[in-house]
Amino acid sequence: MANKDAYKFNSKIHVYRAMRRMTQQELAELVGVSRQTIMQLERNRYNPSMLLVYAIAQVFGVTIEELFDFSEE
């Protein structure tokens, strides 16, 4: 089994939010989390659940792969 700590991701949530002129609070309310969670996601300091990632991708009408860059360390 692969070590989950061997992978990292970079979020592009802030880019999609800016294109929509959406605040962190507005996005947080749409997906049912706190503004602090969105802030931590944008800073790549929070490892979100797949359900949250999917919900955010749905808000922006993009795929998960478009929203996050995944790589091995």
**pLDDT at site 46:** 85
More confident residue, 69 or 22: 22
pLDDT at residue 47 greater than cutoff 80 = yes
Q: Assign 29 to helix, strand or coil.
A: helix
Position 8 scores a pLDDT of 74
Q: What is the pLDDT of residues 1-37, one digit of tens each?
A: 556 566 677 899 999 999 999 999 999 999 999 999 9
Residue 4, pLDDT score: 58
For 56, counting Cβ atoms within 10 Å of its Cβ (0-12 exposed, 13-18 middle, 19+ buried), the class is buried
Own/partner pairs, 43-52, CB within 8 angstroms, 24+ separation = 44/8, 44/9, 44/10, 44/11, 47/9
pLDDT higher at 60 or 6: 60
How far is the CA of 72 from the CAs of 50, 61, 66, in angstroms?
Answer: 18, 26, 17
